[in-house]
Amino acid sequence: MKRGLIAATGVAAMLVSVAACGASGDGSDVAGSGGKGKTLTVWFMSGSNPPEWTKKVQAEFEKKTGAKLKVEIQQWNGIQQKLTTALSEQNPPDVVEIGNTQTAAYAKAGALADLGDLKKEIGADWSESINMAAIVDDQQVALPWYVGNRVVIYNKKIWADAGIKDTPKTRDEFFSDLDAISKKTEAEPLYLPGQNWYFFDGLTIGQGAQLVKNEGGKWVSNLADSKVAKAAQIYKKYQSFSKAPKDKDEATPQQADIFAKGKTGAIIAMGYEAGTAIKANPQIQDQIGYFTIPGETPGKPEGVFLGGSNLAVAGGSKKQELAKEFLRIALSKDNDGQMVKEAGWTPKTPSSASLAKESPAAAAAAPAVAGGGTTPLIPEWAAVENAPNPIKSYLTAVLNGKSPDGAAKQIEGEINKRLSQKQ
């Protein structure tokens, strides 16, 4: 999944006309012959829709409804402006993909249709942690399409050379294994740059912490929370096993390219990054293994950031029922299974976790889903992530010797400034 940060600032102001457009489909666009002569337009982001899944869903939809499906691929760069404009027009795309942490901004602007009844019909058993990013003010404004979370991708040869016979079940066991690699091999135990802030967000989730808090009716930084500080200290311990720069993120350089050289014990990464490593060095393929990021105690994985996309129906679409029929098909258990098998995404239901066996990365990711979460699901959060991301600066400050409390005092003014920006 390759995506740039999409700032949602200004979405509400640019979508004031959406509510007036309404969601008043005439009811004639139902499945079966009701779709004949109609075309449903769907926007997917580049790289999101796997080819076999797309072919399968399109064939099922067109056969069942008699309508045509028009898939339009969009680029992440600049999508905020383009989607904002499209959703405020008289004839918007009927179904749109929206990054899960950006959904709240569009929902607050009244741009998305209520899908509560459809969720009950097709997603009653979806994991709550995956669905929560599709709920805004207790309203189901979208449906989760795909989600991925980080796992440990490790070099089995290096671990064997260090005398390690099994994967760790607790955080302390993981640290012990990394220490063994450091002492018994020439490899770098872990490649963890100082600003892999999505991993840090997972650690804060594992500590039961939030990066922001509501104070007097407005959102402010919560970096000074002792639980956030504990997460920062855990991150610092992980980073002590790495020679990676403290002021760079996992994409600068691409950590998968570093791992591909075969001199790194492990990286904490999205499962698809193994494919990037294999492409860079095909000889490493048989050396790659995966395991769930372990937490403090056995059987309870570390908290993880659940990143992915939702599918939503435009509030102004005149094909509401046809759009919902598309979602019934696209998000069916069978087609969800196809997404897991073809793209390696995390299963949305505990009962479908067995599908992940065909994808070792997905199998490693699945156990952590129940305890996973996201960045704060508020429209104000989008501005916080804009470059230069202050959470990254906070991590670098901690790694360079500042106490978590001192780093928080240094950074929280900038976070509060961004949280106060008008949406």
- CATH code for the domain in which residue 228 is found: 3.40.190.10
Asked if the structure places residue 408 within a domain, the reply is: yes
407 and 269 together in one domain: yes
What string of H, E and C letters represents the secondary structure of the chain? CCCCCCCCCCHHHHCCCHHHHCCCCCCCCCCHHHHCCCEEEEEEECCCCCHHHHHHHHHHHHHHHCCEEEEEEECCCCHHHHHHHHHCCCCCCCEEEEEHHHHHHHHHCCCECCCHHHHHHHCCCCCHHHHHHHEECCEECCEEEEEECCEEEEEHHHHHHCCCCCCCCCHHHHHHHHHHHHHHCCCEEEECCCCCHHHHHHHHHHCCCCCEEEECCEEEECCCCHHHHHHHHHHHHHHCCCCCCCCCCCECCEHHHHHHCCCEEEEEECCCHHHHHHHHCHHHHHHEEEECCCCCCCCCCCCCECEEEEEEEECCCCCHHHHHHHHHHHCCHHHHHHHHHHHCCCCCCHHHHHHHHHCHHHHHHHHHHHHCECCCCCCCHHHHCCCCCHHHHHHHHHHCCCCHHHHHHHHHHHHHHHHCCCC
Read off the pLDDT of each residue in 192-211 and give the average, rounded to a whole number: 97
Q: Quick check: 101 pLDDT over 90?
A: no
Q: Is residue 2 part of a domain?
A: no
Q: How many domains does the chain have?
A: 2
Q: Which of 116-120, 341-345, 372-376 is modeled with the greatest confidence?
A: 116-120
Mean pLDDT of 370-393: 90
257: in domain: yes
Q: State whether 89 and 104 are in the same domain.
A: yes
- Do residues 122 and 262 both lie within one domain? no
> Would residue 372 count as lying in a domain?
no
Residue 345: pLDDT band by 50, 70, 90 thresholds? confident
Calculate what percentage of the chain has a pLDDT beyond 70. Answer: 90
Residue 252's pLDDT is: 93
pLDDT the model gives residue 12: 44
Nearest Cα neighbor of 350 from 128, 117, 116 is 128
In a domain, 366, yes or no: no
Asked whether residue 74 falls in the same domain as residue 109, the answer is yes
Give the model's pLDDT for residue 337: 87
The pLDDT of residue 5: 36
Compare 70 and 357 and report the one with higher pLDDT: 70
- Mean pLDDT, rounded, for 21-47: 70
For residues 190 and 265, membership in a common domain is answered with yes
- Confidence tier at 354 by pLDDT (50, 70, 90): low
Is the residue at 4 inside a domain? no
Model confidence pLDDT, tens digit, residues 213-268: 999 999 999 999 999 999 999 999 999 999 999 999 999 999 999 999 999 999 99
Q: Is the pLDDT of residue 211 over 80?
A: yes
pLDDT reported for residue 202: 98
Rounded mean pLDDT of 181-201? 98
Instruction: Supply the pLDDT for residue 363.
Output: 86
Lowest mean pLDDT among 146-150, 179-183, 340-344, 399-403: 340-344
Is 317 contained in some domain? yes
More confident residue, 378 or 10: 378
Sheet holding 95-99, edge to edge: 68-74, 39-45, 95-99, 307-313, 143-148
Q: What's the chain's average pLDDT?
A: 90
> Residue 11: pLDDT above 60?
no
Question: Does residue 46 form part of some domain?
Answer: yes
Are residues 398 and 256 located together in one domain of the fold?
Answer: yes
Residue 123 sits in the same domain as residue 157: no
> Is 8's pLDDT higher than 60?
no
Q: Do 265 and 407 lie in a common domain?
A: yes
Are both 168 and 260 inside the same structural domain? yes
Q: Could you tell me the residue range of the domain that residue 37 belongs to?
A: 11-147+307-357
* pLDDT per position as a tens digit, 289-318: 999 999 999 999 999 999 999 999 999 999
Span 271-283, mean pLDDT? 94
**Mean pLDDT confidence for 111-140:** 94
Is the per-residue pLDDT at 92 higher than 70? yes
For range 70-85, the mean pLDDT = 90
Tell me: pLDDT of 16 over 80: no
- Average pLDDT, stretch 336-359? 76
Do 93 and 187 fall into the same domain?
no
Asked whether residue 38 falls in the same domain as residue 101, the answer is yes
pTM: 0.83
With 60 as the cut, is the pLDDT of residue 319 above it?
Answer: yes
Instruction: Kindly state whether residues 316 and 268 are assigned to the same domain.
Output: no
Quick one: average pLDDT of 43-69? 96
